[in-house]
Structure 1
Amino acid sequence: MRWGRRYFAVQAVAGAAWWVAVFLSPVVREATLGGLDPVMVAALDVPLFVGASAAAAFGIRFAAVVATGWTIAVTVALAAYATLTSEAGWGVLFMTAAAGASVFALCLLLLGRVPTEWILVGPFAFAPADARAGTRVHAARTAAQIVVFWGLFLVVGPLVIDLLEQRWGLAAGFPPFLRIAGSVVLLLASALGIWSAAAMSTKGDGTPLPAAMPNRLVIAGPYRYVRNPMAISGIVQGVAVGLLLSSWLVVVYAVLGSLVWNFAVRPHEESDLEARFGDEFRRYRAAVRCWWPRIRRRGYAECAI
């Protein structure tokens, strides 16, 4: 709760400073509000954003709800305005960051924590795969998952972000050599992802999807050297796609995805693995790092024997 109140205090000060800058600097006003009338916007935003955030900093929960709701509403409206007019792109980015942080702070203020388990629903809810299905079935399902999830998160998502980046006037061209580097990195990261998925489906009696997790602890293939090669692959793929598209927002999208996975998803995943595999997983976790590969001549599986 204390950190939530501190965030709203910072947001109130930052919001007040921004409004001062809006009225003093035409550059700030144009970059964040475009052609919108600052007086009309301020009449609503100062009490509902700055004032409500200040009240939330003193622990008034209703004010925190108002500030968060208003921030989300402004973000949506400003995004629509920027998409239609190609103005106020920086305002959309700042408000998007404020909306996400406000939701985070609101959870801390109301619940005392961030309920990360709420994202573990549907295909992201942990459940073992059907043990009766054979290796071919698991491999086929894994291939289908790769097509769907890579298509959504590495093609559709980045293309939409790149389109909005261009439309909002936020694009910053990358040097040509970064596109070449991006294509090479994308191939290498994709190969790692496919290798990891193959090990999961053939050795684990399951798939990489949380809703059909392996029935055996996988310590084969790249899992001998790092605990989460699929996550590493996905994050690096996202950054590589950003380089290919010359989109810094796509790179940010990939980095934010890595933070969500590491701090929101991974703790639940590892708790599930520990509950199902016990000492076997604890020994594996102690011997193999999460992010940085520990190269061994024979790998974990052979060294553990």
Structure 2
Amino acid sequence: MTLSPTLIKAMILFPLNVMGVIPLLILWFSQKFELYQFKIIPTVSGVILIIVGLYIIWITVSLFTDYGKGTPAPYSPPKILVNIGIYGYIRNPMMLGVWFVLMGETILFMCSEMLIWFFIFFFGSIFVVTIWEERDLENRFGETYREYKRNVPRWIPRINHTRT
């Protein structure tokens, strides 16, 4: 993955705020950070979800920069439709990775306020993807994206799915 100034800016604006700054502020104001108690099941479960989510995000950002010749940011989108790798199984793996991280943080800190943030982000991202992002991709990539959309599910991979 090539770390360009545009990519660094994109990573600071979205993921760092969504998965870092906002959760830290929630923990700070809810005072859950000071009350954290190590419990094996929530800690291990939360950390596993966070690691899996970050790995998915890393893979998807790498595909955007290396294959798509762009970034995840709307102001510098990929120039080529990214439909390889994990994108051959689901259309929105990056968002899935963010959801994993947010749910992992919620479980790790057992914080109801974090759960509220997860649901706000979850439903907000579903709205943005279905209303704005998919329309934008259809406008930019035309029939190529429409065919991809017909063959690859949005969020949950098909069990017997053959990659596009």
TM over 0.5: yes
- Map 1:126-137 → 2, pairs under 5 A: 136=2
Instruction: Say whether the 8 Å CA contact 2:6–2:76 is kept in structure 1.
Output: no
Q: In structure 2, the residue corresponding to 1:226 is in which secondary structure?
A: coil
- Map 1:56-75 → 2, pairs under 5 A: none
Structure 2 stretches of 5 or more lacking a match? Answer: none
1:136-185 deviation line (CA, Å, top 9, x unaligned): 465x6335533553322222211111222238xxx998954112110011
Q: TM-score, normalised by structure 2?
A: 0.86
Match of 2:88 in 1: 224
Q: Which has the higher contact order (CA 8 A, sep 6+)?
A: 2
Match of 2:21 in 1: 156
Question: Which has the larger Rg?
Answer: 1
Instruction: Say whether the 8 Å CA contact 2:46–2:108 is kept in structure 1.
Output: yes
Are positions 1:146 and 2:11 aligned together? yes
Match of 1:252 in 2: 116
Q: 1:298 to 1:144 in 2, by over 3 A?
A: farther
Match of 1:114 in 2: none
Instruction: Say whether the 8 Å CA contact 1:235–1:255 is kept in structure 2.
Output: no
CA RMSD of aligned residues (A): 2.6
Are positions 1:236 and 2:84 aligned together? no
Q: Separation in 2 of the partners of 1:273 and 1:295?
A: 25
- Equivalent pairs counted in the alignment come to 162
Q: What amino acid maps onto 2:78 in structure 1?
A: P
Match of 1:267 in 2: 131
Q: Separation in 1 of the partners of 2:49 and 2:133?
A: 27
Match of 2:45 in 1: 181
Match of 1:210 in 2: 74
Q: What amino acid maps onto 1:234 in structure 2?
A: V
Structure 1 stretches of 5 or more lacking a match? Answer: 1-134, 301-305
Q: Return the match for 2:30 from 156, 161, 165.
A: 165
Instruction: Say whether the 8 Å CA contact 2:36–2:109 is kept in structure 1.
Output: no
Q: What amino acid maps onto 1:240 in structure 2?
A: G
Q: What amino acid maps onto 2:150 in structure 1?
A: A
Q: What amino acid maps onto 1:261 in structure 2?
A: S
Q: What amino acid maps onto 2:145 in structure 1?
A: F
1:187-237 deviation line (CA, Å, top 9, x unaligned): 011000000000011111111111111111110121111000111111111
Match of 1:278 in 2: 142
Q: Per-residue deviation at 1:266?
A: 3.2
Q: In structure 2, the residue corresponding to 1:213 is in which secondary structure?
A: coil
Q: Return the match for 1:198 from 42, 46, 62.
A: 62
Which protein is richer in helix relative to its size? 1
